[in-house]
Structure 1
Amino acid sequence: MRLFLLPISTRRTLIYCEKLHEKPVKERSIFDRVTIKANETWAAWEKDEKAPLQWKRKVTFYGNQALKRIPYEEWGLKTIPALTAKRKAAILEGREKYQVMFPGMYLHQDKVPGILKQLATERLGMHKRNLIWSVVGMPFTAPFMLIPVIPNLPFFYLVYRAYSHWKALQGSQHLEFLLENNLPTPNPAWELDEVYTAGLMYPTRQISRAAPRPSKQQAEDVAKVVEQQTNNGTEDVMVLQRWNGKLIAEQFKLPDMEVEIERAVEQVENSIKAKEELMEEKLELERATAEPGKTAKDALPKEMFQPHEKEVEKQIHEKAEDVAKQKQEG
């Protein structure tokens, strides 16, 4: 099984697990069947134009907006399958092989274990709590069942969030178990370095497709520029473009990966932009409130400094007297 560690910026990384082959219908669990049915229903609602006031299309539109707000870390963990007893035994017996692929020039190999550990453990408690609260909230949505025609949307939303947290929790526990057993094996992939470099060198997907493949020297040069932009690690710098997700997905023949990358890039971009805007607002406020030729000390009440200034004057006067006395004695 292949895991992908995809740095979105120099500080944030998406984990993605390669999907296993589709199970035959007879081997699918109840959860699998319900999930497939829900996805089919959702897709049908997106195209339904016959519902009164087009309520189905409106529900899917606002629902998709809500889904975009779910953290990309949660989506990534959900791609990791549950740790079944059969899979656990295969791992312990050495029959199940795992490798983690990452762009070695944009993510140093010595950081991989720490990132995997962080992804596996930092959200465990949160997913457990939110799973419980989602289940607890379900009975309180009963009054919405009285609304005619429209289904109990709050109830189904809580069901989905409970399922989502459960899936992410299962993924976290699976990843944690792998790390406890010294898996997966780190595997720096030049294919990823190549696509990352192309995404940083070229402005669009079309130009990237038409341009020559980046050389290793070009990749090293671009990686050095990114490292310099971080200002010794103090700044968070984007290393993945939204349009580049499709190229990575095509490179590894994993079409579902494209959506995960685009969602993660959008969330990280918005987060960095929000921090930059907040910093700019603070600087503007500082410039607006500052008077020419004045320092922060000048803006404070003078009485705060009067005792100190008197003490300094006293010390200077005493020092001058000592110097004069020494000269007289000399």
Structure 2
Amino acid sequence: MRLFLLPISARRSLLYCEKLHEKAASERTLLDKVTIKANQTWAAWEKDEKAPWNWKKKITIYGNHALKRIPYEEWGLKTIPALTARRKKAIVEGREKYHVVFPGLYLHRDKVPEILKKLALERQAMHRSKMIWSIVGMPLSAPFMLIPIIPNLPFFYLVFRAYSHWKALTGSKHLEFLLRHNLPTLNPSAELDEVYTAGLMYPTRAISRAAPRPTRQQAQEVARVVEQQTNDGTEDVMVLQRWNGKLIAEQFKLPDMEVEIERAVEQVENAIKGKEELMEEKMELERATAKPGQTAKDALPKEILKSEKEKEKEIHKKAEDIAEENNNRGQNEGVEKK
């Protein structure tokens, strides 16, 4: 089984699990059948323009807008299948193989286990809590069944959210079990490096398709520029374009991946943009409240400023001491070699 870890920005990554195969009709559980039926009904409503006041299509429009607001981390965890007893036994016995595929130039190998652990553990309590509250809310939405013609939308929404949180929770537990048994194998992908580089080199998908594939040297140079833009990890910058999701999905013949990437890119772009706007508002507020020629920091009491300056001096002193110690160690090692 392949798990794709795709960096969306320098600090945020999407996890996507490849579907091995579709279950045969005879192998489908009741939950599988209900899920398939719900998806088919939703798709039919999106195209239905004959309903009174066009209510079916309007519901899908608002519904799709609400789905876009579900965090991409939740969608990613939902792609990981539940950990069955048979699969757990296969993992313990070493018969089940898992591989994490990621762009090695845009995501350092030593960071991958930490990111996977964070994705596995960070949201478990939240998914469990929200799943319970969704289940509790279902009976409370029962009175809406009295409304004629229109189905009980609040009830079905709560059902969907409970199912979604359950799927994300089971996916996170599956990933946690893998990490506990020192799985999966890390596989940096040169193909992903090429697609990521093309997305950063070219402005559109059409130009990227027509242009030659980036060379390894070009990919390394673009990755170096991205690393510089992060200012040693202090800034978050985008490394994946929304239109590039289709190219990645085509590269690995995983059409469902395209939607997940586009959703994740949109959410991360909005998050970074929101942070930048917040910083700009903060700077404007500082300029408006400060005296002429003075920033908000200058207006702080002298005692606080003195304390802050002493802290800065202490930090610089420690940095100089460490640098001097490393320099002396290097000189001593050179003398010993001679």
Same fold (TM over 0.5): yes
* Residue 252 of structure 1: aligned partner: 252
Structure 1 residue 235 corresponds to structure 2 residue 235: yes
* Residue 319 of structure 1: aligned partner: none
Gaps of 5+ in 1: 306-330
Question: How many pairs are equivalent?
Answer: 303
**How far off its partner does 1:88 sit?**
1.1
**How far off its partner does 1:33 sit?**
0.6
**How far off its partner does 1:86 sit?**
1.2
* Residue 109 of structure 1: aligned partner: 109
Equivalent AA in structure 2 for residue 103 of structure 1:
P
CA distance in 2, matches of 1:104, 1:294: 46
- Say if 2:287 and 2:295, in contact at 8 Å, map to a contact too: no
**How far off its partner does 1:300 sit?**
7.0
* Residue 65 of structure 2: aligned partner: 65
Instruction: State the SS of the aligned residue for 1:286.
Output: helix
**How far off its partner does 1:296 sit?**
4.5
**How far off its partner does 1:295 sit?**
5.2
* Greater Rg over alpha carbons, structure: 1
CA distance in 1, matches of 2:295, 2:146: 65
* Residue 183 of structure 1: aligned partner: 183
- Say if 2:289 and 2:296, in contact at 8 Å, map to a contact too: no
> What whole-Å deviation, never above 9, does each CA across 1:149-172 have from its counterpart, x for those lacking one?
000000000000000000000100
Equivalent AA in structure 2 for residue 263 of structure 1:
R
CA distance in 1, matches of 2:16, 2:127: 18
Equivalent AA in structure 1 for residue 216 of structure 2:
K
**How far off its partner does 1:293 sit?**
3.2
1:296–1:75 CA distance, 2 compared to 1 (3 A): closer
CA distance in 2, matches of 1:297, 1:5: 41
Instruction: State the SS of the aligned residue for 1:138.
Output: helix
1:300–1:254 CA distance, 2 compared to 1 (3 A): closer
> What whole-Å deviation, never above 9, does each CA across 1:59-102 have from its counterpart, x for those lacking one?
10000000000000000000000011111111112111110000
CA distance in 2, matches of 1:238, 1:181: 33
Instruction: State the SS of the aligned residue for 2:141.
Output: helix
1:54–1:188 CA distance, 2 compared to 1 (3 A): same
Q: Percent identity?
A: 81
Structure 1 residue 212 corresponds to structure 2 residue 212: yes
TM-score computed with the length of structure 2 as normaliser:
0.87
CA distance in 1, matches of 2:281, 2:53: 42
Instruction: State the SS of the aligned residue for 1:82.
Output: coil
* Residue 325 of structure 1: aligned partner: none
Instruction: State the SS of the aligned residue for 1:186.
Output: strand
Equivalent AA in structure 2 for residue 60 of structure 1:
T
Instruction: State the SS of the aligned residue for 1:194.
Output: helix
**How far off its partner does 1:286 sit?**
1.6
| Alignment of structure 1 residues 1-330 onto 2, 5 Å | 1-294=1-294, 296=296
> 4+ runs of 1 displaced by more than 6 Å?
none
CA distance in 2, matches of 1:97, 1:295: 58
